[in-house]
Amino acid sequence: MNHPTIPLDFTRLPEDQMIQQSEALLKALTRRRSVRDFSDEPIPLEVVRRAIHAAGQSPSGANKQPWTFVLVTDPGIKRQIREAAEAEERAFYGGRAPETWLADLDHLGTDAEKPFLEQAPALIVVFCQPRADDGGQHYYVRESVSIACGVLLTTLHLCGLATLTHTPSPMNFLQEVLGRPRQERALMLIPVGYPAQGCRVPDITRKPLDAILIER
Ligand code: IYR
In short, whether 112's Cβ falls inside 6 Å of ligand 1 is no
In short, whether 191's Cβ falls inside 6 Å of ligand 1 is no
Q: Please give the distance of CA 163 from its chain centroid, rounded to a whole number.
A: 8
- For residue 210, with 0-12 CB atoms within 10 Å meaning exposed, 13-18 middle and 19 or more buried, which class applies? exposed
**Mean pLDDT in consecutive groups of 10 residues from the start of the chain, 216 residues:** 93 98 98 98 98 99 98 98 97 95 96 98 98 95 98 99 95 96 95 98 98 98
189 strand-pairing partners: 125, 166
Amino acid at 104: D
34 strand-pairing partners: 163
Q: How far is the CA of 13 from the centre of ligand 1 (A)?
A: 40
Q: Whose CA is nearest to atom 8 of ligand 1?
A: 105
Query: Distance (Å, rounded) from C-alpha 153 to C-alpha 162?
Result: 9
- How confident is the model over 79-121, as pLDDT tens digits? 999 999 999 999 999 999 999 999 999 999 999 999 999 999 9
In short, whether 168's Cβ falls inside 6 Å of ligand 1 is yes
Hey, which CATH number is domain 36-195, 3.40.50.410, 3.40.109.10, 1.10.3720.10, 3.40.50.2000? 3.40.109.10
Scanning the chain, the segments in alpha helix (DSSP H) are 15-30, 45-55, 75-91, 99-105, 116-119, 141-158, 172-177, 209-212
**Ligand 1 atom closest to Cα of 110?**
14
Is residue 145 within 8 Å of 126, Cβ to Cβ?
yes
**Ligand 1 atom closest to Cα of 112?**
14
Of the candidates 110, 130, 139, 145, the residue with the CA atom closest to the CA atom of residue 184: 130
